[in-house]
Amino acid sequence: MTRNKVDDKLLHWDEIKNQKWPALLLGNGFSVNIWQDFNYHSLYDLAKSDEIDFPLIESAIELFEKKDTTNFENILNLLLGALLANDVIEGGQDKKLKRLYRKVQKALISTVQGSHVPSDTINTEYISEEFSKYKTIFTTNYDLIPYWSIMNHNTNKFRDYFWNTNNSFDPENTDLWTNCTRILYLHGALHILEEIDGGNSWKNTANESNLLEQFPDTFNSTYRPLFITEGDSREKLSKIYGSDYLRFSYHELLNHNKPIVILGHSLEPDFDQHLIDAISEWGKRRVAISVWPEMESHDIIQFKARINKHLKMHNLSFFDSTTHPLGSTELTVG
């Protein structure tokens, strides 16, 4: 594909798969392809119900409806803007806005847990085998699909940096001494916990069913799930730098110096500018970016033009996401 040509044509993965691709960045599209209930509309519908532990409160639902959106990040971003405006005009609504912001965050985490795909329906062995073809996997997904895949099969081939006492992360102990695939959860995940005061991080190693069943107990006075649910990219980056584990993971992305495949990620500047900035820090690299082929032609062109603009220093290839082994519809559950 010509580097600067922006059209609606997409490569088949087979056309570029034999080039060396040592790294993979996974976005929510990877998980949505497997389990459709991870899409924003489904998450929002569940968040309004009493089927989860921490549903949206009425004032939050009203915001979603007035903005005519099901995107949690849009609402969190809106609330951040309201907090900023409130500070400027000294509106006196700081506590109420912060409370609503935290309630929406908590509902999002609870909804991801409540909507989660059952572990025994996922082809984790296949996913594990595909994961093992990469040296490094970065993921911004909260769900347990990557975790279950690396824990259920070929466990010795993967390293997640939670190998210290009580499955904790130690920033002073991150050297790898074996040939393996390392996985880094850039935005946290359901199975990763942190102390409330921003101290230690560790992974929960309960069995598959208990990881989800124990979720309500992970919100208490001393610790909570390690999730990046902030509304915009700047707030996400601020939270990342407040966690030893997330800061380490982000710096690994910043310092990555090899070609990478980006699968299921839109790289939207409002929410993902910190990821765009990290990738932009590299010298010229080969970057393969998946595109969902069911998008309208003009949307594909617009997406490619935007990515070309943001990552103009790289050698970009745009491929049909469904032709990649990890984007195949054969992985879809239900």
Give phi and psi for 307, each to the nearest 5: -65, -40
Give me the chain's average pLDDT, please.
90
Q: pLDDT tens-digit profile of 72-126? A: 888 988 998 898 898 888 888 889 999 998 899 888 888 888 888 988 899 999 9
Average pLDDT over every residue of 281-303: 95
Q: pLDDT tens-digit profile of 7-60? A: 999 999 999 999 999 999 999 999 999 999 988 899 999 999 999 889 999 999
Helix then strand count (H, E) for the chain reads: 12, 10
State the Cα–Cα distance between residues 153 and 148, nearest whole angstrom. 8
Same structural domain for residues 184 and 308?
A: yes
Same structural domain for residues 153 and 292?
A: yes
Cβ-contact 263, 145 below 8 angstroms: no
Same structural domain for residues 59 and 165?
A: no
Segment holding 32, helix H or strand E? helix 28-34
Q: Is residue 127 part of a domain?
A: yes
Query: 151 pLDDT exceeds 90?
Result: no
Bridge pairing between strands 136-139 and 181-185: parallel
Above pLDDT 70, what percent of the chain?
93
Q: Is residue 4 part of a domain?
A: no
Q: Is residue 1 part of a domain?
A: no
Same structural domain for residues 207 and 327?
A: yes
Same structural domain for residues 65 and 110?
A: yes
Where a domain ends, among 94, 114, 134?
114
Q: Is residue 6 part of a domain?
A: no
Same structural domain for residues 134 and 268?
A: yes
Q: Is residue 5 part of a domain?
A: no
Same structural domain for residues 128 and 270?
A: yes
Number of domains in the chain: 2
Q: Is residue 272 part of a domain?
A: yes
Cβ-contact 245, 203 below 8 angstroms: no
Q: Is residue 25 part of a domain?
A: yes
Largest CA distance in the chain: 59
Residue 20 DSSP class:
-
Q: Is residue 8 part of a domain?
A: no
Residue 21: domain span: 13-35+120-331
State the Cα–Cα distance between residues 226 and 191, nearest whole angstrom. 8
Query: 312 pLDDT exceeds 70?
Result: yes
Identify the residue whose tokens are 């506590």: 95
Mapped onto helix, strand or coil, the DSSP state of residue 259 is: coil
Same structural domain for residues 246 and 165?
A: yes
Same structural domain for residues 170 and 285?
A: yes
User: For residue 212, with 0-12 CB atoms within 10 Å meaning exposed, 13-18 middle and 19 or more buried, which class applies?
Assistant: middle
Where a domain ends, among 114, 144, 171?
114
Q: pLDDT tens-digit profile of 253-272? A: 999 989 999 999 999 998 89
What pLDDT sits at residue 235? 86
**Closest Cα to residue 292, out of 266, 320, 267, 318?**
320
Same structural domain for residues 50 and 79?
A: yes
Q: Residues 194, 196, 198, 200: what is their CA dihedral angle, to the nearest 10 degrees? A: -40
Cβ-contact 280, 47 below 8 angstroms: no
Where a domain ends, among 88, 114, 140?
114
What pLDDT sits at residue 114? 87
Same structural domain for residues 294 and 197?
A: yes
Q: How far is CA 141 from the centre of its chain?
A: 3
The residues facing 213 across adjacent strands are none
Mapped onto helix, strand or coil, the DSSP state of residue 258 is: coil
Local confidence band at 184 (pLDDT 50, 70, 90 cut-offs): very high
Same structural domain for residues 130 and 273?
A: yes
